Amino acid sequence: MSQLGERDAAAVRDVLAALERDVEVTLELGPTPAPVTLLAAGGREIDTGGETRRLVEAVCEESDRLTLTVVEHDEPGPWPRTTIGPGLRYLGMPVGYELTTLVHGILEAGREEPALSSASRERLATLARDVTVDVFVTPT
């Protein structure tokens, strides 16, 4: 049985049906510097790597256009880390509303043309150097 419920799996499938090209998803796992305790889990420690792996595998099973590679690290680090396409990175567990962020990140990576307006793309083209944009999603 999928980590996603039937309703969520159908919703993910519907979104991913709009993929215009194949997308590579890389999930990196390894020890975290400190145990993770979630209040939503009743204040108990959880295996963030295992939970994330099951969830990302379930999402990737919903489309033939997705390829998942799992990399196991021995050293502590910012794990779990999910890389979508050539450079979109998601740190942490994509649970709750954050699952939508992950799925729509995959959708964006699978577009032939970016969803940004042409005016935004033109403006970005004028930047003198590459920039990194960090977007933070807080737990729900």
Overall number of domains in the chain? 1
* Helix/strand/coil percentages in the chain, nearest 5: 35, 20, 45
> What is 51-94 written as a DSSP string?
HHHHHHHHHHTT-TTEEEEEEE-SS--S-SEEEETTTEEEES--
Residue pair 21/110 in contact by the 8 Å Cβ criterion: yes
Using 50, 70 and 90 to split pLDDT, how confident is the model at 43? low
Q: Is residue 64 part of a domain?
A: yes
Q: Would residue 98 count as lying in a domain? A: yes
Rg over CA atoms, the chain: 16
Q: 80: cis peptide before it, omega within 30°?
A: yes
Domain with 31 in it: 6-125
Neighbours of 59 (CB within 10 A): 27
CATH number at 44 reads 3.40.30.80
Q: Is residue 33 part of a domain?
A: yes
The DSSP call for residue 39 is G
In a domain, 133, yes or no: no
Whole-structure pTM over 0.75, yes or no? Answer: yes
What was the pLDDT predicted at 138?
66
Mean pLDDT of 68-97: 92
Q: Is 104 within the bounds of a domain?
A: yes
Q: Which of 9-13, 45-49, 81-85, 88-92 has the lowest mean pLDDT?
A: 45-49
